[in-house]
Amino acid sequence: MENGRASSRRHDNDDKAFTEAARELNGTIMADSHEKEEDVRCGVLCCKPKWAAWLANPKLFVLCWCLAILMNIILAAGYLNGVLTTLEKRFQLQSKDLGIVASAADIGSMVTVLFVTYYGGKPGNSRPKILGVGLLGLALGAFLSGLPHFVAPAYEVDPDSIPDLSSLENKDGASISSNYMDVCLANRTDTQCGSGGTAANSAKGGWFALLVFGQFIYGISGTPLMPLGTTFIDDHVRKESAPLYIGTSYIVFGLGPPLGFVLSSFAVKFYVDMDKGIDPATLGLTPANPLWVGAWWIGFFICGAGLLATAFPMFFFPPALKRPPDSDVVQKKDKSEKKKMLPMMDMDKGPPLLDPAKGLWKQIKGMSKSLKEVLTNGVFLVLCLSGVCMVSTFGAFSFMPKYLELQFGVPKSQANMLLGIVMLPSTVFGIVGSGIVIKKFKLTPVQCLYMSAASVFISSLISIPMFFLTCPQPPMAGVTIPYGYSPLMPNVPYLKNGDINLLSSCNTGCNCNLDKYSPVCGSDGVTYFSGCHAGCTEKQSFMHPMGIVVSNFSRCGCLADLPPEVLKKMMAEKFGKSGAGAPPGGDEKQDSQKPHIDPMWATASPQKLRSNANATDSTPSMNANSTSPPIPGMGPRMPENGPPGFQGMPNFAIGFPCRTDCNKWGAFIAVFVVGGFASSFGFIPVIISILRALTPETKSFGMGVQSVIMKLLGFIPSPIYFGALIDTTCRLWSTNCGQQGACLLYDLDKNRYAFFGLITALRVLGGFLILFAAYLFKRREQNKPLESKNGGVTKQDIAASLGSLTGSMHSLDRVGHDHHHHHPHHDVERDTEDLRANIWKKKFGDAEHVPLA
């Protein structure tokens, strides 16, 4: 009886204790709820109005974050690559210098990634505000990258060849005579290479350093954007909604490069010094002219302004947002998924790379141990090296606009537009297609590696036609063919690199300037370094109907002596068949019936020039009694007894390089798209195999190590050595007071073989490394007990690999991910749940714990 009463009293005391504990717990929960409500209001410092609470939601944060990602990737991965060749010409840089510019941002990112992820993930730090600071830094880096345009003087287009606009009174195509320094003159001295020339060279080095410094700051500031933004979203949305939000950011990430190329295509159509009141038409420049320099700086300030606009909202977001509870269905599904999930796929297992709860020295020791375990994993190491080979080919794409311009004569703006249009679909379809195949056929990791190797070898085979797709290069006197020869002649000898000589007996007494590249196209179809090098003694300028000043050189003594039959054929092709555009006596066709010709040539031909009463011209006419306009350039080397209608044709040259009509770029783009699809088809299988090759304890750290290896050995050095390789194919360098500048003329065959030869070599090496990794993986699987072997790849594998691919290509996205879960509010929630469980266990024993209402 007494025992029963004692037991009853004990139960009553337990009930009272449980009730008091529950009340205390509920009070703690309510207090914490009020505290959280204060924290999740938008605002700055003490200014956090109640009405701003509705702004603190994940959707608005994702909107601002995705806009920031878009601006960042447009500039870093698209626009910069699109204006590299413009920077080369503007600041007389070499291709290896362009590689340094392209790699500077990645170098800055590598310097600060551990610091940012360590301190950015500490409890109490506001990740949105860290992102805001980073975006301000990105805007600063963008502005610094565009600043050289404003501190440098205006772009100099051979001041000796700029026409005197005061003499251009007739705007309807009149010929105007003038004398300029870019013609053959005796007893001329060049005083430009004094102290002023040396100072200009030093200034160019300073502008280049400023550009690299701006990109370095850009890389440092962009480090927190992906890792901290991804983890902030993951911590504050429902688990079933997280893939949608994060996947949206990856879609935006993929849109950046093509939009960047499109923006660069738009920018380079404008003249570089349009803000300084300089009209390129007065200089005889069009976007198709090789001396044209576009407004490369526009995109840096557009993207910088966009980054600045997205930075300010980040400072108003609170350190934490209200996270809605996961649905019961999702919680039950999550538990069942964890039971079914392959051991290798639990990315949250194991310690984080940097845990702020531990001391720095202990973390360094732990990292060293994990690093040793990862680097002694043979499959992982070989796959990382194969990944380095694959991502190193991305360094070539920094120079792809330049390649299209060199090999096919595609203008910069058109080349950037083409790449922007075709690059995204081929890559996206390849990545998505590989994921579908893996899921459809439930491929094992070894089978994934075989598929990846096959895609690499197929893409290498597809690239073989690229070795032969090119356009003929217009010959240049003294560089590709000797003086006195024309491509219209049979059996023309071609010069080797060691035989280049811009001087000949016809121009040795002209004192031509070798520092000023002002190419002209002679009537013999040959490009000359300048009108002076063509031996021209006179120059006239006229206003083209398109509103562009065009220079016409005459009395050119270095042009080839063409036979009459060759001359007739050439002039018929240039100005229309059956004597169209020929001297008086020939039948002239209507413009609509003419074949496609260069509009500059059509207008600049001697027969199209009309006399100007105000102009003086000492050149004789074809005959004294003729009423036709005077014809400049009765060159001594042109035959006087030519074919009917072409007698006495002059030697003349036009102030732009010769061009050839070629449309092979369409076939190149088609092969490029197919090859890009095949190459991207192998990315996901490799990353899936890397994930499966690591243990659960080293998986997160291993993915960080993989990103470091790819950046250090792939993304950073590849643009530099691709640029240096391109430099080795240069035939003619520009000079400025004895210092080497940008390349003026490339050996197209060597350039093509070297460019795609290195790409193909890297792909083939990567393919063999993948096969070797498959052999190691297969041998390791055979040595495992039967029960520990994993089956085919699951949807979780594919999803994880997609995220890892994007992270590896940009920054260490996974670094610092796990330790973000140590936020104080999450600690309170976890402690609260533990307290509830203890109370329940004390009251009801081992019965299943049901959460309190």
Whether the CB-CB separation of 777 and 693 falls below 8 Å is answered with: yes
Q: What confidence score (pLDDT) does residue 302 get? A: 96
**Mean pLDDT lowest among 340-354, 754-768, 824-838:** 340-354
User: Which tops the pLDDT comparison, 765 or 363?
Assistant: 765
Q: What's the CA gap between 356 and 362, in Å, rounded?
A: 11
Handedness of CA 139, 145, 148, 154 (dihedral sign): negative
Q: What's the CA gap between 743 and 405, in Å, rounded?
A: 13
117 — pLDDT class (breaks 50, 70, 90) = low
Q: Do domains 55-163+198-327 and 341-473+663-717+748-783+790-808 have the same CATH topology?
A: yes
Q: What confidence score (pLDDT) does residue 550 get? A: 80
Segment 361-390 shows an average pLDDT of: 86
Query: Residue 728 pLDDT > 80, yes or no?
Result: yes
pLDDT in tens, 544-571: 776 677 888 988 989 988 777 776 676 6
% helix, strand, coil for the chain, step of 5: 60, 5, 35
205 — pLDDT class (breaks 50, 70, 90) = confident
- CA 423 from centre of chain: 11
> Strand, coil or helix: what is 613?
coil
Q: Where are the alpha helices (DSSP H) in 484-544?
A: none
User: Which tops the pLDDT comparison, 566 or 149?
Assistant: 149
**Nearest Cα to Cα of residue 123 among 306, 344, 357, 449:** 357
Q: What's the CA gap between 155 and 172, in Å, rounded?
A: 28
Q: What's the CA gap between 394 and 147, in Å, rounded?
A: 27
Query: Residue 604 pLDDT > 50, yes or no?
Result: no
Whether the CB-CB separation of 120 and 816 falls below 8 Å is answered with: yes
Most confident of 93-102, 495-504, 607-616, 637-646: 93-102
pLDDT in tens, 206-231: 889 999 999 999 999 998 888 888 77
Most confident of 294-298, 338-342, 427-431, 620-624: 294-298
Buried b vs exposed e over 489-506: b needs ≥16 C-beta within 10 Å?
Answer: beeeeebeeeeeebebeb
Q: What confidence score (pLDDT) does residue 614 get? A: 34
**Mean pLDDT lowest among 61-75, 486-500, 799-813:** 799-813
138 — pLDDT class (breaks 50, 70, 90) = very high
Q: What is the largest distance, in Å, between two alpha-carbon atoms of the chain?
A: 148
Q: What's the CA gap between 261 and 554, in Å, rounded?
A: 41
Instruction: For the chain, give the percent of residues with pLDDT over 90.
Output: 29
Q: What is the mean pLDDT of the chain?
A: 74
Q: What confidence score (pLDDT) does residue 787 get? A: 45
pLDDT in tens, 753-789: 999 999 999 999 999 999 999 999 999 988 876 544 4
Q: What's the CA gap between 706 and 110, in Å, rounded?
A: 13
Q: What confidence score (pLDDT) does residue 688 get? A: 84
Helix (H) or strand (E) holding 731: strand 730-736
Segment 115-139 shows an average pLDDT of: 81
Q: What's the CA gap between 400 and 80, in Å, rounded?
A: 12
Q: How many CB atoms lie within 10 A of CB 567?
A: 21
**AA letter at 246:** I
Quickly tell me which residue has 């036979």 as its tokens.
563
Q: What's the CA gap between 136 and 126, in Å, rounded?
A: 16
Most confident of 23-27, 270-274, 708-712: 270-274
Segment 56-73 shows an average pLDDT of: 90
Query: Residue 708 pLDDT > 50, yes or no?
Result: yes
Whether the CB-CB separation of 678 and 455 falls below 8 Å is answered with: yes
DSSP letter (8 states) at residue 729: T
Q: Is the pTM of this model over 0.85?
A: no
Q: What's the CA gap between 776 and 449, in Å, rounded?
A: 11
Q: What confidence score (pLDDT) does residue 650 get? A: 60
Sheet with 527-528, strands from edge to edge, namely: 175-178, 536-543, 549-556, 652-654, 520-522, 527-528
User: Which tops the pLDDT comparison, 701 or 518?
Assistant: 518
**Nearest Cα to Cα of residue 694 among 378, 340, 353:** 378
**AA letter at 759:** I
Q: Which residues pair with 127 in a beta bridge?
A: none
Q: Tell me the CATH number for domain 341-473+663-717+748-783+790-808.
A: 1.20.1250.20
Tokens of 169: 């009174």
Query: Residue 164 pLDDT > 50, yes or no?
Result: no
**Number of residues that this document lists for the chain:** 853
Please write down the HEC assignment for all residues of 768-793. Answer: HHHHHHHHHHHHHHHHCCHHHCCCCC
Whether the CB-CB separation of 265 and 79 falls below 8 Å is answered with: no
Specify burial of residue 314 (Cβ count, 10 A radius: 0-12, 13-18, 19+): buried
13 — pLDDT class (breaks 50, 70, 90) = low
Segment 612-617 shows an average pLDDT of: 33
Handedness of CA 235, 237, 240, 242 (dihedral sign): negative
Whether the CB-CB separation of 808 and 386 falls below 8 Å is answered with: no
DSSP letter (8 states) at residue 536: E
199 — pLDDT class (breaks 50, 70, 90) = low
Instruction: For the chain, give the percent of residues with pLDDT over 70.
Output: 64
Q: What's the CA gap between 809 and 76, in Å, rounded?
A: 12
**Mean pLDDT lowest among 10-14, 221-225, 757-761, 846-850:** 846-850
Q: What confidence score (pLDDT) does residue 305 get? A: 96
At residue 597, φ and ψ (nearest 5 deg) are -135, 165
> Which CA distances in Å does 255 have to 61, 210, 478, 801?
19, 29, 46, 19
Segment 399-413 shows an average pLDDT of: 90
Tokens of 145: 């990258």
User: Which tops the pLDDT comparison, 472 or 623?
Assistant: 472
Whether the CB-CB separation of 507 and 184 falls below 8 Å is answered with: yes
Handedness of CA 519, 521, 526, 528 (dihedral sign): negative
Q: What confidence score (pLDDT) does residue 487 get? A: 85
pLDDT in tens, 793-827: 555 555 555 545 444 444 333 333 444 444 444 44
360 — pLDDT class (breaks 50, 70, 90) = low
**Nearest Cα to Cα of residue 128 among 264, 314, 399:** 314
Segment 162-173 shows an average pLDDT of: 44
User: Which tops the pLDDT comparison, 332 or 720?
Assistant: 720
Segment 310-338 shows an average pLDDT of: 67
Q: What's the CA gap between 813 and 703, in Å, rounded?
A: 9
Tokens of 822: 């140590």
**AA letter at 696:** P
Segment 419-434 shows an average pLDDT of: 82
Q: What confidence score (pLDDT) does residue 514 get? A: 83
Query: Residue 470 pLDDT > 90, yes or no?
Result: yes
Q: What's the CA gap between 451 and 269, in Å, rounded?
A: 43
Domain definitions of the chain by residue range: 14-47+823-853, 55-163+198-327, 341-473+663-717+748-783+790-808, 475-659
The CATH superfamily assigned to 55-163+198-327 is MFS general substrate transporter like domains (1.20.1250.20)
**Nearest Cα to Cα of residue 186 among 537, 531, 510, 556:** 510
